Each structure stands twice: as structure tokens, then as C-alpha cells.
Chains A and B, each alone.
Chain A
């Protein structure tokens, strides 16, 4: 095989289109950052104007002190934990595929769950109201040690991961007859 033939074979591979969801998620993340940048400018401008107003008044007041006995800690470390839930499907043949909410799956397919957390946190995974798994994700990527194998005749369900800053939900359509 010549260099040209080898190159031609590999050139045919070309790029690989990302999923529409990934494209949408990426553009949305950029938009959020752009919006946050705009807000930062406005907030800084507001803070600057407030500081100038305070200097012009030069009103000195004693600091207010609260009673430490009545103070409570606001928020906890876990309340701000960013959590992301991703699902893959393992076929009975062992083949692994990305989960898609608009696809119907067959009995014997197993849902596998991967969680990304910004720091260690306690989480609960439920199928509708039934707890499938409770445990601690160590921070970073973490694979839930239990999967969920779909059964024939199973209706649609919502898998929910709670414990992070936002509830993560995955809708699974009814299993194919």
C-alpha cells in the first residue's frame, strides 16, 4: 500500500458530527458565559457608582453586631454541588450505546449511569419513587455501581438523581413489546 493509498483510506474517515444535544449544550454554555460577562460589567458599574455615592455622603455609622447565639449557618457545602447525570445503554450483546430519550429500548437492555460532581456528595437515584441506589459520589466522574435492566411490558418512567444543586431527570419511554 502506497502512502497515497493509505492516506486516502484514512482521509475518508473525516470529521465526526457531534450529537445535536452536545452542539446545543455547548452553544448554550457559551451564551450563558456571554450573559454572565455582561452582568459582571453591569454589576461592577453599579458597585462603582454606589461606592462614589457613599464617599460623597461620608456618613459614619457604627457596625451592627448580631447576637452570635442566634446566628445560623446559611447554606451548606452540598447545596452548591454541581451534578451531571449521563446514561448509557448496554445491549444484551454487550454493545454499548449512548442513551437517547426519543428512542425506545427493548427488554434486556440495561441502563448504566455515570455521574459527574464538582465535589464529593451524597446522592440518591430513583426510578419514579423507588430508590435504586443511594451513596456518595467522590467528586469527578463516578459510575453508579448498579444498572437497571428493562423488562418486557415496562411502562415509561422517570429516573431522578437528587442531592446536587439541581435535580437531574431522565425520561425513559415504555419498553418495546
Chain B
């Protein structure tokens, strides 16, 4: 099986099939990240689509020397989430409370965990979701968030402390 980096090299050379394979491989992780960061289904949809469009637009700048494809993808996603948050701050949306995120309530514990994640400050949530929920290592997370690996590790550690508090309260 081709690695992500090999596939992205093929995308840079114009392969649509390679792009489709990368999309299939990462779409669930990316959507999970987008939804947990925006806490808003429509915003998550927009971030998801915009991120994959940006990946396509930036394919010529891709280089495997800069790290893994996954950290590059999530760096683009993180920037897209932050851009969107800046825009939203300038133009608040109407009926915000009515459009609370709706995770499917199949499992009560799952809901509690998602709620607790939503309570984390953004910088801790970014690091925790990428590391623990999506299984990226500290180096990948550091590259995705443009911080040092030690900083990534520290953020995850602080997130754990806060999550314990939140889960005990609930």
C-alpha cells in the first residue's frame, strides 16, 4: 500500500485517483477534528470542504521533507478553523444556540466525553483531539499546530487534568 506521502507526491503530479485515496483515508479523522473544534455541524462542513480544497490548491507546495502528510493536512485544517473563528467573531451568526452540535445520542458516555471535550480551551482541545482521539504522535501534532513537541505534550497533559475535573463534575 502506498504511503500518504507517496500518494501526495502523485497528487502533485496531477493524479486524481491518488487524491481520492487520500480523501478516503483521512475524511473521518478530519471531519471529527472539524466538528470538535467548531462545535457546529455547518461550520464543520465548511471547514472540511475548505481544508480539502486548500490541500488541492496547495499541492504544488507540498514537500515530504517538511514532515508527514497528516501533520500538513491538520495544519491546514487548524488554520482553516482559526480563519473561520476570526470571521465569525466579526460577524456573529443568528440563532447560535439553536444550532448546537448534534452528536448522535447512541451512547450516554460518548455524549459526556464529547461535552467535556467541548469545554476545553481551544489550544488544549486541538492538541488533545489530535493526540488522543485521532492517535497522532507528539511530533506530528507539534507540526500540525506549529508548536514544539514539548509544548504539544504539555498541552495534552493539561487537557487530561481539566477533563478529569469536568468528568467528575458531570
Contacts and interface: CB of A to CB of B under 8 A. Distances in A.
Partners in one complex: yes
Interface of A: 1, 3, 6-7, 9-18, 22-23, 25-27, 29-31, 33-34, 86, 88, 90, 95-98, 112, 114, 140-143
B56 A13 contact: no
B99 A16 contact: no
Contact of B53 (A1, A30, A88): A30
Contacts of A11: 132-133, 135
Top 8 nearest A-B pairs (CB, nearest first) are A15-B28, A15-B32, A16-B32, A18-B31, A15-B29, A143-B95, A26-B49, A143-B94
Interface residues of B, number: 45
B52 A3 contact: no
Contacts of A90: 98
A62 B156 CA distance: 72
A88 B99 contact: yes
Interface of chain B, helix or strand or loop or mixed? helix
A134 B32 CA distance: 36
Contact of A34 (B56, B94, B163): B56
B102 A14 contact: no
Contacts of B48: 18, 22, 26
B32 A13 contact: yes
Given A16-B32, A30-B19, A112 B27 contact: no
Given A9-B113, A11-B135, A13-B133, A29 B93 contact: no
B95 to A, nearest CB: 4
Interface in B76-98: 87, 91, 93-95, 98
26 contacts: A6-B160, A6-B164, A10-B128, A10-B132, A13-B32, A13-B110, A13-B114, A13-B117, A16-B32, A17-B28, A18-B31, A26-B23, A27-B20, A27-B23, A27-B52, A30-B19, A33-B57, A34-B56, A95-B102, A96-B100, A96-B102, A114-B42, A141-B93, A142-B94, A143-B93, A143-B98
A14 B28 contact: yes
A97 B16 CA distance: 33
A33 B31 contact: no
B109 A15 contact: no
Contacts of B99: 88, 96, 114
Q: For A17, A18, A140, which residue has the most chain B Cβ atoms within 10 angstroms?
A: A18
B45 interface: yes
